[in-house]
Amino acid sequence: MVFDPSGEILLNEESGDVLHPGGYQRFLKTAPMDVAYLGTWDGQRCYAVTLPGEEAERFSNRTSLREVLARQQPEQGCLACMGKQLLYWRQQTRFCSACASPLQEKAGERARVCPNCQTLYYPRINPAVIVSIHHGDKILLAHNRNFTGGIFSLVAGYVEVGESLEQAVEREVLEEVGIHIRNIRYWGSQAWPFPSSLMLGFLAEYDSGELCPDGTEIDEAGWFSLSELPPLPRKGSISRRIIESLLPEFQQSKP
């Protein structure tokens, strides 16, 4: 799996696929900027590689990780997420934060170790929560100021130190839209390497309070019928998957 220095994925020129059978070495006239081992795919060792700018310019066909998540097979999307996140972590984790020595690769583990003080460094994962809140036959959707194209999505945010996942869900909902919720249930998860998150999805029910967007992150929020939804996040995102998973359930509950 081949990336350019900006993080875009360079596609196989012949097949348009994200994978490049035959090894990454055949692309290179100079050494790669970085290489991360991902595991095996179809019996072959698989790597994520960052090409130098001049090498990457030879590729005319490229795509973003979001497009891969929306259009490729789930297994390839997983490899792409792993590759981008590992390459980012390796770029950001080159020196020991305790003694400033250059780090070395840890044999047998996906980790780096300080040769001076033996401090271990593992890839960082930042947990975040996202929740679908039901109120009768409607769900809560919100518009973040950073969204483009009038997109509405589910309430989401990062887990803080000392919180359980459920406490993070309750806090984020109260902070962003001003309501209390109940009956929080786990739905599923998705790697979200933008740059290094793990999104944990939940379902919950409205309990009390009036919608009041915080005005900082959320500028609009409302209750929407699943038969009349606003523009949603692209396919492949966990928010879109959660919403789509609810459609049969709500349709069956109609009289």
Express each pLDDT in 52-96 by its tens digit: 988 888 888 899 888 888 876 778 888 899 999 999 999 999 999
Query: 114 Cβ partners below 8 Å, 6+ apart?
Result: 96, 98, 99, 101, 103, 104, 120, 121
* HSE-CB of 84 using CA atoms within 13 angstroms: 25
What number is the average pLDDT over the span 171-184? 97
The most distant pair of C-alpha atoms in the chain lies apart, rounded to whole Å, by 69
CATH architecture of 2-115: Alpha-Beta Complex (3.90)
Tell me, yes or no, if the two domains 2-115 and 126-253 fold the same way. Answer: yes
> Given this model, what pLDDT does residue 179 score?
97
**By three-state DSSP, how is residue 3 classified?**
strand
Whether residue 154 contacts residue 177, with contact meaning beta carbons closer than 8 Å, is answered with no
Confidence category of residue 44, pLDDT binned at 50, 70, 90: confident
Domain residue extents for the chain: 2-115, 126-253
Phi-psi region for residue 86, left (φ > 0), alpha (ψ -120 to 50) or beta?
Answer: alpha
Give 202-246 pLDDT, tens digit per residue: 999 999 999 999 999 999 999 999 989 999 998 889 999 999 999
Which of the 8 DSSP states describes residue 58? T
Report whether pLDDT(252) > 80: no
Backbone angles phi, psi at 48, to 5 degrees: -105, 130
Q: Class for domain 126-253, per CATH?
A: alpha beta
Report whether pLDDT(251) > 50: no
Q: Cα separation of 196 and 89, whole Å?
A: 8
Q: What is the pTM of this model?
A: 0.86
Q: Cα separation of 99 and 117, whole Å?
A: 7
Report whether pLDDT(28) > 90: no
Give 103-119 pLDDT, tens digit per residue: 999 998 999 999 999 99
Report whether pLDDT(253) > 50: no
Q: Cα separation of 59 and 166, whole Å?
A: 45
> Given this model, what pLDDT does residue 254 score?
40
Report whether pLDDT(37) > 80: yes
Query: 126 Cβ partners below 8 Å, 6+ apart?
Result: 158, 196, 197, 198
- Number of neighbours of residue 254 by Cβ within 10 angstroms: 8
Backbone angles phi, psi at 96, to 5 degrees: -70, 130
